[in-house]
Structures are given as C-alpha cells and as structure tokens.
Amino acid sequence: MPINLRGRSFLTLKDFTTGEIQYLLDLSVSLKEKKRMGIRGNTLAGKSIALIFEKPSTRTRCAFTVACVDEGGHPEFLGKNDIQLGHKESVKDTAKVLGRMFDGIQFRGFKQSVVEDLALYSGVPVWNGLTDQYHPTQILADFLTIQENFGKLKGLRLVYVGDGRNNMANSLMIGSAKMGIHFAIAAPGDLFPEKDLVEECRVIASDTGATIEFFEDPRKAVSKADAIYTDVWASMGEEDKLAERMALLKPYQVNSDLLKATGNADCIFLHCLPAVKGNEVTEEVFESRNSKVFDEAENRLHTIKAIMVSTIGDL
C-alpha cells in the first residue's frame, strides 16, 4: 500500500510506523535535493499555517517559516503574547477558531496535552514543535543526518548522554525503537526516563530488532557508538534546576576523552541545539570533524517541509 499521510497530525513518533518514518526521511532527501537545485515548490500554494510559540525557538520557527514559503504557503507567527490562548481563551476554543482559518497548526509549548487538544478540536493537522515531553520533528532531522553519514539507520548504535528524561531523550528512544537503532542512555539513575515509556519502547523495539540500554557510567555506554547525542542540562522551563543539574551531570560532559572512549574514530556528534558549551559539550568536540550539528540544524528545514507537504500539501 502506498503511504499517504494526508490529514495526519504529528504529535509523537509513537503514532507513526517504521515505514511512515522512512517515507518522511525519503521525502526529506528529495526536498533537500530540490532546494539545493534552487527549485521552488508549490505544494502548499493557497495554504496558511499557524505557528504558535509559548517557548522561544530559532531552528523550529525558522524551519517552519522557510519551508512553508519555499512551497508557496503563508506562515503566521503567533507568539505567547500575541494570542488569547491560555490567557482569555481555552485551548479547545482556540483550536476551533484556528481550525476555521488555517490548514495546519504548529505548537511549541509546555504541556503535551495542549498539542493533543489542538489536534483533537481544530480539525486540521497539528505538528508538535516541542513540548516538555517530546520533540518529534527534531528526531527526523537527527535521523536524516545519521542516514547521510552511514547510509542507513537500522543496526547502528546511538548513545544519548546527559538528562535522560527530557523531551529529546524520550523522543530519541521512541524513534530508535521504531527504526531498529540500538539506543543507550548514559545518565544518573535519577534522570532515567519514565518506566512506562521505556516499556512501551521495548515493545516497539521487539518488532524492529532495536535494543534499549541504560548506563550510569558514560564511558561504558559510549563504547562502540556510531553517534553520541547530548542536549542541555536544564530544558526550557527548568532554568531553576540548572545548579542542581550541573552538579549531577558534570561527569556526563561530552568531551574528547568520552569521544575517544567510543573506540570509533568515525563516531559522529549530534546535538539538537542550542548548546551550552562548557556544560554538556566542550567547544573542542562541538567544533571537531566528528560534529555534524550544523548539518543536523539545516536538516530541520527539509524534514519539517516533508511533514507539512505530506500532511497538508498537494503532492
């Protein structure tokens, strides 16, 4: 059966099959080639999208905006102080109003339940541009970058080092389980992900051949890694926890010693960005030949375009 994602929301990768995720990656590859050749598309001509941001953003906002314009659509930025959502109007009513005017809605904010309610009540596709729980659009860019470097995803070893229970760790675990990637988290035990999510991912992994492991010792975790991933130690909304996290996560800094401990000179380094250099990663690793962080940032554009084109575009 040909894959058709028209009308679908993109709230968490749990909702997508291995084949659907691969389809989005393949579409991203062709949209990236098209962009490199300077060819503009018109799959979003006549479409308008709402971009709701409760939290700040560089990459996600710019990727949605540029991707939409590249394909002939109109993006409307709605910052947290620009709209009534959460102040004078309920999520349900806001969703119903926006759904009458827009063809798709991107939401970045705190609660996963808000992005889910927007999808439930708007009647149009809703894309999760990051919540406290998940960051699924980021994973497509990460996996495209891994695929560009290794020519495949299945069977590779991806090790996430740092805050093992944040939106990135959760989403990388789900995505890896879906795509047959051997995934490990190196974190202090207090920062391991929720047991229920781990169990859910292990069920998915049993179908794809993926494995999911947890380590408190970062050097053991990264042994034979193909890719090391890290993220900030205090996510947006957790700034008050930074001092506590810095003390807890100091041994989990991705530095050249940890990169060497992989035993793999071609191990790549990934980070969703923005990065706090000197905390979760050293300047040396960030700027090393192993670092693919700017390819990864660019890939936000092509993968987000693939999500919009496949869910609301005239393909």
Give residues in contact with ligand NVA (CB under 6 A).
Answer: 130, 135, 166-168, 231-232, 235-236, 272
DSSP string, 38-98: T----TTTT-EEEEEESS--SHHHHHHHHHHHHTT-EEEEEETTTS-BTTTB-HHHHHHHH
Query: 166 contacts which partner out of ligand CP, ligand NVA, none, CB within 5 to 8 A by kind?
Result: ligand NVA
Contact 80, 236 (CB under 8 A): no
The encoded tokens of residue 23 equal: 């389809």
Residue 118 phi/psi, 5° resolution? -60, -40
Q: Which is nearer to ligand NVA, 47 or 108 (CB)?
A: 108
Active site members: 108, 135, 138, 231, 272, 300
Q: Which is nearer to ligand CP, 254 or 272 (CB)?
A: 272
Q: Which residue type does 122 have?
A: S
Q: Which is nearer to ligand NVA, 234 or 308 (CB)?
A: 234
Distances (CA, A) of 168 to 103, 176, 265: 27, 12, 25
Q: Binding string, 46-85, against ligand CP, x = CB under 6 A?
A: -----------xxxx-------------------------
Q: Binding string, 260-279, against ligand CP, x = CB under 6 A?
A: ------------xxx-----
Distance CA(259)–CA(315), nearest Å, equals 42
In angstroms, give the least distance from the CB of 160 to ligand NVA. Answer: 11
Q: Which is nearer to ligand NVA, 133 or 311 (CB)?
A: 133
- Binding residues for ligand CP, how many (CB under 6 A)? 9
Residue 220 phi/psi, 5° resolution? -65, -40
In the complex, which residues of this chain contact ligand CP (CB under 6 A)? 57-60, 130, 138, 272-274
